[in-house]
Amino acid sequence: MKLGLEGKVVVVTGGTRGIGRAIAEAFAAEGAKVVVSSRSAGACAAAAEALGGVGVPCDVTKPEQVDALFEAVAREGGCDVFVANAGVSSSTFASELSREEMQRLLDVHYLGAVQGAQRAAEQMRGKGGGAILLVTSIWGFGAAAGTLAYGAAKAALAHAVKGLAVEWARDGIRVNGLAPGFVATDMTAELDERVKAKLVGRVPLRREAQASEMAGPAVFLCSDAASYVTGHVLFADGGERAR
């Protein structure tokens, strides 16, 4: 099956480590030209060298930096695929949660992702279409103690999948979402072992995912193999949401 990604310009925010890095590597393996971004200029440069792509530092909470990212993408030929993966974690309990922390989670996960999608779509329209992937989370569809800010931001992003898909279908732009479950990353490595055990215990497959296991679903949703799929959120959670 042809995925149709060779030579495509793929932009991955939060693409220098964890899930984003795994996704960027998978696109590069398919022959795409990958543009990775993160807040760290050094991390961007290192990832770009490893992938044979381009690195552009970008804090997605700063609109002018998102605009600058896509100006750089335009110089590479314009965006064909955009993966909004930049994120931060939060486990603050609701009674202790500040307005500032809630706003930061929305700024990164929702507003930054949607602005990126807007800029990507502008370039895609000039190329006859494209594919957008918003990386949400199973916590946008369910709750646990300490997930209020993170889950609310990811729930907003999941709605954006549907809203953007409906509006932009006429332009040949497909918009889908990926909702990972418990994935082994730098962020989850800091969790207490008892917390990890509890999280794994919720998963029918009885293990945490590796970041590389998110890459296949991501590439599929952005490829020609999913040409009739839009407005869909794919759960890659080991069966957790099946309960």
pLDDT digits (tens, 9 = 90+) for 38-61: 999 999 999 999 999 999 999 999
Q: Domain for residue 118, yes or no?
A: yes
pLDDT band at 243 (very low <50, low <70, confident <90, very high): confident
Q: Domain for residue 112, yes or no?
A: yes
Q: Domain for residue 3, yes or no?
A: no
Backbone angles phi, psi at 54, to 5 degrees: -130, 140
Q: Domain for residue 200, yes or no?
A: yes
Q: Domain for residue 167, yes or no?
A: yes
Q: Domain for residue 62, yes or no?
A: yes
150 is catalytic: yes
Q: Report the 3 state secondary structure along 117-150.
A: HHHHHHHHHCCCCEEEEEECCHHHCCCCCCCHHH
Q: Domain for residue 228, yes or no?
A: yes
The residue with tokens 């149709």 is 4
Q: Does residue 1 carry a pLDDT above 90?
A: no
Predicted local confidence at residue 171, as pLDDT: 98
CATH code at 165? 3.40.50.720
Predicted local confidence at residue 16, as pLDDT: 97
Question: What whole-number distance in Å separates Cα of residue 121 and Cα of residue 174?
Answer: 10
List 70, 82, 139, 150, catalytic entry = 150
* DSSP symbol at 208: P
pTM: 0.95
pLDDT band at 36 (very low <50, low <70, confident <90, very high): very high
Cα separations (Å) of 195 from 91, 144, 148, 200?
12, 12, 17, 9
* Domain total in the chain: 1
User: Strand, helix or coil at 171?
Assistant: helix
**What range defines the domain where residue 61 resides?**
9-234
Q: Does residue 195 carry a pLDDT above 90?
A: no
Report residue 107 CA to chain centroid gap.
14
Q: Domain for residue 239, yes or no?
A: no
Mean pLDDT, residues 184-208 taken together: 83
Q: Does residue 185 carry a pLDDT above 90?
A: no
pLDDT band at 104 (very low <50, low <70, confident <90, very high): very high
Q: Does residue 130 carry a pLDDT above 90?
A: yes
Predicted local confidence at residue 198, as pLDDT: 83
Q: Does residue 188 carry a pLDDT above 80?
A: no
C-alpha atoms less than 13 angstroms from C-alpha of 156 in its C-beta half-sphere: 17
pLDDT band at 90 (very low <50, low <70, confident <90, very high): confident
Question: What whole-number distance in Å separates Cα of residue 217 and Cα of residue 237?
Answer: 11
